[in-house]
């Protein structure tokens, strides 16, 4: 048994050496690409290329690793490769240790430079001023609905939606000791508390639960007091040096939040894209129905539609519409042309690769 184990481990070591050689060979190609991009002043981050890499990884995967595990590995490979070209600066709606922070890490990997800002508006400002290359903001939750403030900011901003990511929201109970029996008080954001109510009532019915501004704030409080626990995402445990007592304590396992990556440029078509637009319709009977028939006529799938007050006059609304396709697709061009004739105002917010869970 011992000889067989040593033999297998030696084989793994040899393969690891080859993997390192191949990764460095890949990095040499990345450096050549950097020279070409510098020559033509091209953007270093390419959402469409990111999707191509993930697609190729999954197509070449014969197991036993799952596609998700390999995509996580290659996310770090791409993050490190991008760092050879430039250190991307990513602003996100903080604080550190929240689900937005987790989404940023899952999107751009650990080799990028991250800095939290106190509001969604500040994310837009950092990118607009050029202090961040990209920003990441929440836009929709499967149980709580749309984050309206994000939509309102898209109305006036010249920034574009250039990518998206959707992640399952998992709540974890954590403390500095990691001992369930030592907990006398629990802190968390009100949504995390509400979404973990059944578990709390079953396992800690007599423990005081207190609402705070964020899951990160709860983790900070737990870090300072050994009798305090926090309900927070796993990234908070890493940031604030806490031990996870129980994972996945949420009542529903299909709680998903969608985040937008905002930047200054449109993304190129990948063949699996989504477009977001904002329109203001003319004030007459059947106006919205007419607009929706354009999508039906061209057999384009609508994935979301939301209305928001224009804030310019009473009962005047903007409609935010997401649909499958890219602005450079022929039938999408026809729809947009029809919309220009039938709406009072239209703005393309972005065309970008569709995300996958």
pLDDT of the chain, 357 residues: tens digit per residue: 778 899 999 999 999 999 999 999 999 999 999 999 998 888 889 999 999 999 999 999 999 999 999 999 999 999 999 999 999 999 999 899 999 999 999 999 999 999 999 999 999 999 999 999 999 999 998 877 888 899 999 988 999 999 999 999 999 999 999 999 999 999 999 989 999 999 999 999 999 999 998 999 999 999 999 999 999 999 999 999 999 999 999 998 888 999 999 999 999 999 999 999 999 887 777 778 888 999 999 999 999 999 888 766 655 678 999 999 999 999 999 999 999 988 888 999 999 999 875
Q: What confidence score (pLDDT) does residue 300 get?
A: 96
Pairing of strands 134-141, 243-246: unpaired
Q: What confidence score (pLDDT) does residue 311 get?
A: 67
What's the CA gap between 249 and 252, in Å, rounded?
A: 9
Active site residue 74: no
Task: Give yes or no for a contact between 241 and 223, defined as CB atoms under 8 angstroms apart.
Answer: yes
Name every residue whose Cβ is closer than 8 Å to that of residue 159 and which is 6 or more positions away in sequence: 124, 127, 128, 135, 262, 263, 264
168-204 exposure pattern, b = at least 16 Cβ within 10 A, e = fewer: ebbbbbbbbbeeeeebeebbbbebbbebbeebbeeeb
Token readout for 200 is 């709390």
Q: What confidence score (pLDDT) does residue 342 get?
A: 86
Among 106, 75, 62, 58, CA closest to 235: 106
What's the CA gap between 46 and 37, in Å, rounded?
A: 11
Q: What confidence score (pLDDT) does residue 357 get?
A: 59
Q: Which domains does the chain have, with CATH numbers?
A: 86-169+256-263 (3.40.190.10), 172-246 (3.40.190.10), 273-353 (3.30.70.260)
Task: Give yes or no for a contact between 256 and 142, defined as CB atoms under 8 angstroms apart.
Answer: yes
Helix (H) or strand (E) holding 54: helix 47-59
Active site residue 259: yes
Choose the catalytic residue: 98, 215, 257, 270: 257
Name every residue whose Cβ is closer than 8 Å to that of residue 350 and which is 6 or more positions away in sequence: 160, 161, 162, 266, 267, 275, 276
Number of helices (H), then strands (E), in the chain: 12, 15
296: left (phi over 0), alpha (psi -120 to 50) or beta: alpha
Choose the catalytic residue: 74, 93, 259, 318: 259
What's the pTM?
Answer: 0.89
């Amino acid at each position: 048994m011992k000889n067989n184990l040593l033999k297998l481990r030696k084989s793994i070591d040899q393969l690891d050496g080859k993997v390192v050689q191949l990764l460095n060979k890949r990095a040499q190609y990345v450096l050549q690409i950097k020279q070409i991009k510098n020559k033509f002043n091209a953007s270093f981050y390419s959402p469409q290329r990111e999707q191509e890499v993930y697609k190729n990884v999954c197509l070449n995967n014969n197991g036993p690793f799952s596609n998700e595990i390999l995509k996580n590995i290659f996310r770090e490979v791409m993050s490190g490769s991008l760092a050879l070209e430039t250190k991307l600066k990513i602003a996100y709606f903080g604080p550190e240790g929240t689900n937005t922070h987790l989404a940023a890490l899952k999107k751009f990997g650990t080799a990028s430079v991250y800095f939290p800002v106190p509001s969604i508006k500040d994310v837009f400002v950092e990118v607009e001023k050029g202090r961040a290359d990209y920003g990441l903001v929440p836009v929709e939750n499967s149980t709580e609905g749309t984050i309206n403030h994000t939509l309102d900011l898209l109305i006036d901003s010249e920034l574009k939606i250039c990518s998206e990511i959707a992640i399952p929201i998992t709540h974890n109970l954590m403390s500095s000791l990691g001992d369930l029996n030592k907990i006398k008080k629990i802190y968390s954001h009100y949504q995390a508390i509400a979404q973990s109510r059944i578990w709390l009532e079953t396992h800690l019915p007599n423990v005081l639960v207190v609402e705070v501004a964020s899951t990160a704030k709860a983790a900070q409080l737990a870090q300072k007091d050994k009798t305090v626990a926090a309900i927070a995402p796993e990234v908070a445990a890493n940031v604030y040096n806490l031990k996870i007592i129980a994972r996945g304590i949420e009542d529903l396992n299909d709680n998903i939040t969608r985040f937008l990556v905002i930047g200054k440029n449109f993304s190129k078509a990948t063949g699996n894209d989504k477009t977001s637009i904002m329109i203001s319709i003319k004030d007459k009977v059947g106006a919205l129905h007419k607009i929706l028939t354009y999508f039906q006529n061209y057999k384009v799938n609508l994935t979301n539609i939301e209305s928001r007050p224009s804030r310019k006059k009473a009962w005047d609304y903007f409609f935010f519409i997401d649909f499958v396709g890219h602005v450079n697709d022929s039938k999408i061009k026809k729809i947009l042309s029809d919309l220009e004739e039938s709406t009072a105002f239209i703005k393309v917010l972005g065309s970008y690769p569709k995300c996958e869970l």
